[in-house]
Amino acid sequence: MNGLRIAVPRGALFGDTLELLDRLGVDTREVRENDRKLLFEEAGIVTMRPSDVPTYVEAGAADLGITGKDVLMEQSERECYELVDLRYGYCRMVLASEAGEDRGAEALRRLGVVRIATKYPRIAARHFLETGRQAEIVEVKGSVELAPLTGLAEAIVDLTATGTTLVENGLVVREEIAECSARLIANPVAHKLKARAIDAVLERVRGA
Amino acid sequence: MIDRIPSGTRDVLPDEMRELRAITERLRAQFERAGYGEVYTPALEYEGTLARGDVAGAMPAYRVFDEQGQVLALRSDMTIPIARLVATRYAGAEPPLRFCYFAHAYRRVRPQRGQARELLQAGVELVGAPAPEGTAEALTVLCAALDDVGLKTYSVGLGDSSLFPALLERVGVPPEQRGRLVEELVAGDFVGVEREVAALGIDAESAELLLRVPQIRGGPEVLEDVPEPLDAAVQGMRSVHQLLPSDAAARVIFDLGLVRSLGYYTGAVFQVYDPALGVPIGSGGRYDDLLAKFGRPLPAVGFALSVERLHIALTGEEGR
């Protein structure tokens, strides 16, 4: 990778990211064959959860990284450069609640505040702040869809690609908060000190 | 029960203290040799004094009331206190004036980020020496001090804070439409910059300029194909570079995208990078309008190094 180290997200963006790296001429065979290993020094690849990518890049432990805009929005205080929209991994950050009468709207009207379950507490809090409504944000780590079904919250803020999970749980989208896709990010110091290598990658990404 | 200390502050124990002292002693010797006498100013100043800098980036974060009910604030850098000091204690002195300092500054922190609420800064201020000579002198002192401390692989990014405003002016973006674009640039969100530029509805050539220029960085060769509207700023950077001794000149990376969040910078701005650390070790620049706010209109330039980050970078270089 031109002497650069790139943080690659495992999970939903993994396949498209490896394909992109292939097109850039990076040898990803070992990464594909070995799903236990995390650090591939020769290829300049380190794999991790998408939400850890900004952490490694901000600290300079990786020069470049690929992660979703949702992660970058949630961790907006990270000091990383967001270089380019990679145009894959499209999904939407939405506010959803059970089909039928909107219990979130009802809670807002009658109780003055709506309980929102989410894995993205800061995005959710910002959305309600910016739209002038009061919300109590309940952070959960997984299966957000469960929250409105069990009465933990009236609505959820979550990422959806196809909407299948929402439908399966009887939830409907009430508002769209943002469109998200994969982004290439860089450590600010590496962006200065390894300018040529990073610009070469950028050029190939734009052409690929 | 364990008594905690505020997040972003820390105790320093003897082993670390010895190493920090070794660094600051060397820096101090270099600064003194270059004619920069050490000053110290109170950590607390009247809020009105610190607010005179009139910029978001330098606003104090911590305020207390004194016994008369006046608002005092902890300084967030040393540049503004030294501007005050020059205007009051050296009101009639013949410039240029040279000062150095080793002092703590106090900043707000974001939770859970390991940011320093109290940070030790080592820096110099050169007052009454205009560009390019004054800027070159400050950069020369900076490099000599870092060399003497033993930092090996550092570079100094050199930009100009007037460059992007000049470019926006030239392509005809009215001031009221610049805010969000500049915000995205300061945040380092180039996807956002692209979106904001597209929203301006300007011609393709101008849009291309606004996107390309902030990405220009590298050795002197990158200045060759800089578009004509930026001639003045680029000429300024070149003349600073030409005045530097060869070892300092070799450290410089020209960086047309270098934007500093501190609003008082007027011309050259710079940042110190080391591959051993993911964040800048220090920064500086020209602030030719600040002294006038304290009643002593003089051009000035200065820089501040984070002693703790410099220490981390030195330790990091050992391991490479």
- What's chain A look like in SS3? CCCCCEEEECCCCHHHHHHHHHHCCCCCHHHHHCCCCCEECCCCEEEECHHHHHHHHHHCCCCEEEEEHHHHHHCCCCCCEEEEECCCCCEEEEEEEECCCCHHHHHHHHHCCEEEEECCHHHHHHHHHHCCCCEEEEECCCCCCHHHHHCCCCEEEEEECCCHHHHHCCEEEEEEEEEECEEEEECHHHHHHCHHHHHHHHHHHHHC
Q: H helices within B52-113, ranges in order?
A: 79-89
Say what the pLDDT of residue B57 is.
56
pLDDT-based confidence at residue A44 (cuts at 50, 70, 90)? very high
Confidence class for position A15, pLDDT limits 50, 70, 90: very high
What chain B holds in terms of domains, given with CATH numbers, is 17-161+216-318 (3.30.930.10), 168-215 (no CATH)
Answer yes or no: do B217 and A195 touch at CB < 8 A: yes
Mean pLDDT, to the nearest integer, of A97-115?
95
pTM: 0.89
Query: Mean pLDDT, to the nearest integer, of A37-53?
Result: 94
Q: Which residues of B touch A196 (CB under 8 A)?
A: 218
Intrachain domains A6-89+181-207 and A91-179 with the same fold:
yes
Using the Cβ of A190 and the Cβ atoms of chain B, whether some distance falls under 8 Å is answered with: yes
A6-89+181-207: CATH topology is D-Maltodextrin-Binding Protein; domain 2 (3.40.190)
Put simply, whether A83 touches B (Cβ < 8 Å) is yes
Residue B109 pLDDT: 80
From first to last of its 320 residues, chain B has per-residue pLDDT tens of: 889 998 889 999 999 999 999 999 999 999 999 999 999 999 999 999 988 876 655 678 899 999 999 999 999 999 999 999 999 999 999 999 999 999 999 998 876 666 789 999 999 999 999 999 999 999 999 999 999 999 999 999 999 988 888 888 888 888 888 888 888 888 889 999 999 999 998 999 899 999 999 999 999 999 887 888 788 889 999 999 999 999 999 999 999 988 765 567 889 999 999 999 999 999 999 999 999 999 999 999 999 999 999 999 999 998 77
> ipTM for the complex?
0.85
**Average of per-residue pLDDT values in chain A:** 95
How far is A200 from chain B, CA to nearest CA, in Å?
13
How far apart are alpha carbons A167 and B229 in whole angstroms?
A: 55
In a mutational test of the B interface, the residue from A189, A194, A199 whose CB has the highest number of chain B CBs within 10 Å is: A189
pLDDT of residue A207: 84
Cβ–Cβ of B188/A79 closer than 8 Å?
Answer: yes
Residue in B with minimal Cα distance to A85: B191
| Band of residue A60 on the pLDDT scale cut at 50, 70, 90 | very high
Query: Under an 8 A CB cutoff, do A187 and B110 touch?
Result: no
CATH number for A91-179 (one of 3.30.590.10, 3.20.20.70, 3.40.630.30, 3.40.190.10): it is 3.40.190.10
Residue A2: the pLDDT is 78
At B177 the pLDDT is 84
Q: Quick check: A112 pLDDT over 60?
A: yes
> Rounded to a whole number, what is the distance in Å from the CA of B252 to chain A's nearest CA?
11
What residue segments make up the domains of chain A, in order of their start?
A: 6-89+181-207, 91-179
Q: What is the pLDDT of residue B175?
A: 85
Q: CB–CB of A84 and B191 under 8 A?
A: yes
**A174 to chain B, minimum CA–CA distance in Å?**
26
